[in-house]
Amino acid sequence: MADQSAGRRGNLMPQVLWFFFIAACVKLLLVPSYHSTDFEVHRHWLALTHSLPVSDWYLDETSPWTLDYPPFFAYFERFLSIFAHLIDPKIVDIQNGLNYKANSVIYFQRISVILSDLWLLFGVYRLSKKLEVKRRDLMWVLIIWSPGLVIVDHLHFQYNGFLLGWLLLSISFLQEGRDLMGGFVFAVLLCFKHLFAVAAPVYFVYLLRHYCWKGMVRGFSRLSVMGALVVAVFAAAYGPFVYHGQIQQVLRRMFPFGRGLCHAYWAPNFWVFYILLDKELAFFLRKVGFNIQVPSASFTGGLVGDSSPFAVLPQITPVTTFIMVLLALSPCLIKAWRNPRPGMIARWIAYAYTCGFLFGWHVHEKASLHFVIPLAIVAVQSLGDARHYFVLSIVSCYSLFPLLYEAQEYPIKVLLLLVHCALMWIGFSAQYAEDAVAGATAPAPAKKKVAQSNLKAAASDEGGFVIGWIGKIYLFGILVVEIWGQFLHPYLLGDKLPFVPLMLMSIYCSLGIMYSWIWQLRWIIKPT
């Protein structure tokens, strides 16, 4: 038995490619389905980077979908445009290709996302190569077969799998103690998508303490090497635009703070409750005779204004959200400084992205992937982590449902979520039932160690993978919210109050994400 396990552990690449092949087959079936305006955004970026010199990339306004990602992603689009031009030159025609919807562009872009997921696969492979078989396979299921990535990347259309591959690769290096490589890969990621910078404080504190804090001479030498490496990465990305005197234009494109606090569909975060409180206070004060001015912009009308209109509560600025994110992060930063353990880095990074999601400026619901995917690494470590992840991943996936609003995609997103739930339940049950048996049959000294582990600490009297009654009630509530929004609201109210279903979904999912944040925070601050 041990020989078989060793054999499976030693020949991982064909196995992980099998997982990728299954996922790719499903994604290919989804090629003709709905895609968002992001599909045209990325097609235009192919045309822009192929047709124009680098000096014009961040100046072009041929389309409303101007380039607003960092330079490495622009270079990535330029690389893809080489193959797009070979397949159909009109794909990369900046004038005549606007809103081009031929089968050639649909298949090219869909397949480009599928193939770019190979980088995610490499990150997962490096993270899991030393795990025992069941934990490794479970991690592959949670990440490679993630329904959130299928919805966001392969239906709605983006390249999050490719970007998250860089993040997982960085985490894998840090867990191995290869801090220099971990920092380098994270710097590269930031030059692909700047929104991952929410975890930069965690990286800075951890690397300073774990890698550089080694005495005056050695520490300064390591700090210099790390700093030079990061500067070199950013110079490679932004150097051409500094040379052309366009760095301010690039930064304005990357940080359009005028978009407002919230997206058209409220991402399930803290600001949902702030908005609701403001509206309730305005309603109450008007009722008792106060002259409360109603803002012209609306949060529930699906529009993104140039400001964040509140009737009663103070206006929220980007600086306010930045301070709140840092305050929420501070316990994690203190813990990373006091006890910089490589085994905790995935948990700390996931917590950082949870803070950014909850308290950040103009957060999209898609950003939940930034912490759900890293938490899959943590979910295979203990029973308590598995229970937390089970609920969180369902909430995250459900919060993405509004991205696919057309009727023909409804069965697809529901089926993806149900299959994910079944796979998680089967995988976690098999894993932790086996752990429980191993703990029960272990010799006395081993039993003592098991009793001290996270698994035993998290286990309930029932044993195995069981969701508590609060979790069951909450998950049942998701079903109630969905039935109301899809069936009862149209039947009972018709066209009245059309914003209510989305508002209920946002509020209810916000409760789940807030719970996850508190759960992670408690885990981080507890003594170790």
DSSP class per residue in 344-412? GHHHHHHHHHHHHHHH-SSB-GGGGHHHHHHHHHHHTT-HHHHHHHHHHHHHHHHHTGGG--SGGGHHH
pTM greater than 0.85 (yes/no)? yes
Rounded Cα–Cα distance for residues 236 and 191 (Å): 9
pLDDT at 453: 43
pLDDT at 246: 93
Query: Angle, nearest 10°, between helix axes 179-190 and 200-207?
Result: 160
Residue corresponding to tokens 């969701």: 467
pLDDT at 494: 87
pLDDT at 157: 94
Residue type, 28: L
Query: Angle, nearest 10°, between helix axes 179-190 and 216-243?
Result: 20
pLDDT at 294: 65
pLDDT at 302: 36
Q: How many CB atoms lie within 10 A of CB 337?
A: 14
Residue corresponding to tokens 């001290």: 452
- State in Å, rounded, how far the first CA of the chain is from the last one: 35
Rounded Cα–Cα distance for residues 42 and 67 (Å): 9
Closest to 161 measured CA to CA, from 102, 197, 114: 114
Question: Phi, psi at residue 363, to the nearest 5°?
Answer: -80, 135
Residue type, 157: F
Residue type, 236: A
Rounded Cα–Cα distance for residues 30 and 35 (Å): 10
pLDDT at 443: 56
pLDDT at 437: 52
10-residue mean pLDDT profile of the chain (528 residues): values are: 48 88 95 90 95 94 92 97 96 90 94 97 94 93 96 95 98 96 98 96 96 89 95 97 94 84 82 90 86 59 49 90 96 95 96 97 93 96 94 96 91 96 94 63 49 42 73 95 93 87 93 96 86
By the 8 A CB rule, do 92 and 50 touch?
yes
